[in-house]
Amino acid sequence: MRSGGYTKNDELEDALFAFGRNYTEVKEFPKCRLPTGIVNLLRRKKLDKIAIETGFFIEISLKKRSLREWCRFEQIMSVKPKSHHYDHSQRAIFSIFDGFDTFELGTNPWSEFMPSQLWVKLSPLDDQTLAWVLSEGKILCGDINEQKTLHDFCEIEISGPKTIEYLRLPPPPDRPYNFFDEF
């Protein structure tokens, strides 16, 4: 869900999003910027204006899907942590199969499996989810204490402030689930 990062251009790259696999995670996780793989996929699917206004769903599948609605992303790099012997989690960078747009995906700490390709589908929020977002009030708003700089309102020739971290997607689900399901 769009949740701040408002600038003079109101661009998708600058927007902050609240993200989660279900409604409790949306309220708990920090707001992040979207990676280029998701930003440009939103543009390809002509969902960029909807994403800026309210938000969108991301569906991830390990199974091959129709290219009409789904886009294939291929793993281009994967790393495992060295410091924890009991932690089998991995992080990987995935790139859209016909371009250079990427996103990062992490696995669960107990999982050693990282797929070589994923299928991603983006869609607008459904009415039930949008009603929930509106009822929560604070989710669609930027942080009232969000620091504003001159860079937010005009172009100046000095370096800007440190950027906010980009969203790292969770692993594909073990089973299908709904946004309002409890984990």
pLDDT in tens, 41-91: 999 999 999 998 888 999 998 888 887 889 999 999 988 777 666 666 788
DSSP track, 17-51: B---SSHHHHHHSPPBBPPHHHHHHHHHTT-HHHH
- Which pLDDT value is given to residue 162? 62
Residue 119 has pLDDT above 60, yes or no: yes
Query: Mean of the pLDDT values across residues 131-146?
Result: 67
pLDDT band at 31 (very low <50, low <70, confident <90, very high): confident
Rg (alpha carbons) of the chain, rounded to whole number: 17
User: What is the pTM (predicted TM-score) of this model?
Assistant: 0.73
Residue 139 has pLDDT above 70, yes or no: no
Q: Are 56 and 123 in contact (CB under 8 A)?
A: yes
Looking at per-residue pLDDT, the higher value among 28 and 84 belongs to 28
User: What are 73's strand-pairing partners?
Assistant: 96, 118
Query: Mean of the pLDDT values across residues 4-32?
Result: 77
Sequence length of the chain is 183
Residue 116 has pLDDT above 50, yes or no: yes
- Which pLDDT value is given to residue 145? 42
- Which pLDDT value is given to residue 113? 77
The encoded tokens of residue 27 equal 């309220």
Distance between CA 145 and CA 156 in Å, rounded? Answer: 23
DSSP state of 140: G
For 58, the 3-state DSSP assignment is strand
> If you average pLDDT over every residue of the chain, what do you get?
79
pLDDT band at 5 (very low <50, low <70, confident <90, very high): low
Residue 14 has pLDDT above 90, yes or no: no
Q: Are 73 and 117 in contact (CB under 8 A)?
A: yes
Q: Say which range, 6-20, 60-74, 101-115, has the weakest mean pLDDT.
A: 6-20
pLDDT tens digits along 151-177: 555 666 666 656 667 777 777 777 788
Residue among 141, 160, 143 nearest 152 (CA): 160
Residue 28 has pLDDT above 50, yes or no: yes
Cβ burial of 104 (10 Å; 0-12, 13-18, 19+) is: middle
